Amino acid sequence: MSQRPAPASVPADSAAASTPAAAPQLADSAFLKAARGEEVPHTPVWFMRQAGRSLPEYLRVREGVGMLESCMDPELVVEITLQPVRRYGVDAAIFFSDIVLPLKAVGVDLDIVPGVGPVVANPVRTMADVEAISDLTPEHVPFITQAVRGLVGELGATPLIGFAGAPFTVASYLVEGGPSKEHARTKAMMFGAPDVWDALMRKISGIAAAYLRVQVEAGASAVQLFDSWAGALTPADYREHVMPHSTRVLAAAGELGVPRIHFGVGTANLLDLMGEAGADVVGVDWRTPLERAIPLVGDRGVQGNLDPTLVFAPTDVMTARAAQVIEAGRAARGHIFNLGHGVIPSTDPDQLARLTEFVQSYDLSR
């Protein structure tokens, strides 16, 4: 697979690296063109959790280093974010971090437990618990600014995607105290203590908006709002209790002039609302065919959505299914190829390289 030439490095503290405009070659980015609904030279591709736990070089640099610790080390963040760009030549880099990092930065007592996920020492139950959470300012996350500036210098013509966890998903971790399948405590607060719920969601949406602003002002060229657990909601409950808060985050990102991607898992019944919340591009998981999703999202781009397990199939089977995704995506305002969820840890990196090459070389003129 052909690789892009390595871009020249720019010092992390360089003022020239402080905004996306510092790299005029980004104007030719297939990823940004697709996100804006413009004609593209090829279907752009990147992968959620694209460094993840599938790259041996990632496992080496993470050895003995906790997840949150690694997310707060600018040099390590730069290295991990760049690894899949070097290996695959993908069309965009996703900033290496975790959706609960902003909470940790403002003082919430939490940790990411291996094999479990985020665990909160004192779950949120009352209005006083909500009021005890500080708002996020750039001073809370100087390591984020440093890492993004360093990355913009290293990436050159490859855009960087900043990201944040959406209010519902982050609230679920805070209320449940950790991962949950049923989200029972979360919904109990949403239905039974709507004043506390609204205050919590406003708090989280403010933190998410501030966190995205830090990334964009340091040089990120696009943002993605991850709502991993939104699929647990009915459309009516999403519209009333969640959508206004996601809208607030996406509106704030929109003021920064960058494309906004909104992604959730198991959200076939919410795709129209997730678009209406303020997305330029709606991420679609693998359960919903793009030909069904595109009419739902309206005049917006789509992102996705190859089943992540297809990378374990024979290459010809994988690429045949990828071709179907690409062809379906041509009906959208813009299409960014991705898996329908994150890269599975046991994925063969060479197979992802083959998939990347196939997508980027797929002839869109036919």
pLDDT digits (tens, 9 = 90+) for 117-145: 899 999 999 999 999 999 999 999 999 99
pLDDT at 202: 98
The residue from 4, 73, 86, 98 that is catalytic is: 98
Asked about 173 being catalytic, the answer comes back as: yes
pLDDT at 23: 56
The residue from 36, 62, 86, 239 that is catalytic is: 62
Q: Report the distance separating Cα 284 and Cα 249, nearest Å.
A: 19
The residue from 49, 87, 300, 354 that is catalytic is: 49
pLDDT beyond 50 at 62: yes
Confidence of residue 8 (pLDDT cuts 50, 70, 90): very low
pLDDT above 90 as % of the chain = 90
pTM of the entire predicted model:
0.92
Stretch 201-229: mean pLDDT, rounded? 97
pLDDT at 310: 98
The residue from 53, 202, 239, 321 that is catalytic is: 53
Q: Report the distance separating Cα 247 and Cα 282, nearest Å.
A: 13
pLDDT at 4: 33
Asked about 321 being catalytic, the answer comes back as: no
pLDDT at 47: 96
The residue from 173, 211, 333, 354 that is catalytic is: 173
Confidence of residue 104 (pLDDT cuts 50, 70, 90): very high
pLDDT above 70 as % of the chain = 93
Asked about 62 being catalytic, the answer comes back as: yes
Looking up tokens 């989280």, which residue turns up? Answer: 204
pLDDT beyond 80 at 267: yes
CB pairs under 8 A, 24+ apart, for 49-53? 49/342, 49/343, 50/84, 50/88, 50/90, 50/94, 50/343, 50/352, 51/80, 51/81, 51/83, 51/84, 51/96, 52/342, 52/343, 52/345, 52/347, 53/345
Stretch 83-104: mean pLDDT, rounded? 96
Asked about 362 being catalytic, the answer comes back as: no
DSSP letter assigned to residue 8: P
Q: How far is CA 217 from CA 15, 66, 214, 343, in A?
A: 11, 27, 5, 28
Asked about 49 being catalytic, the answer comes back as: yes
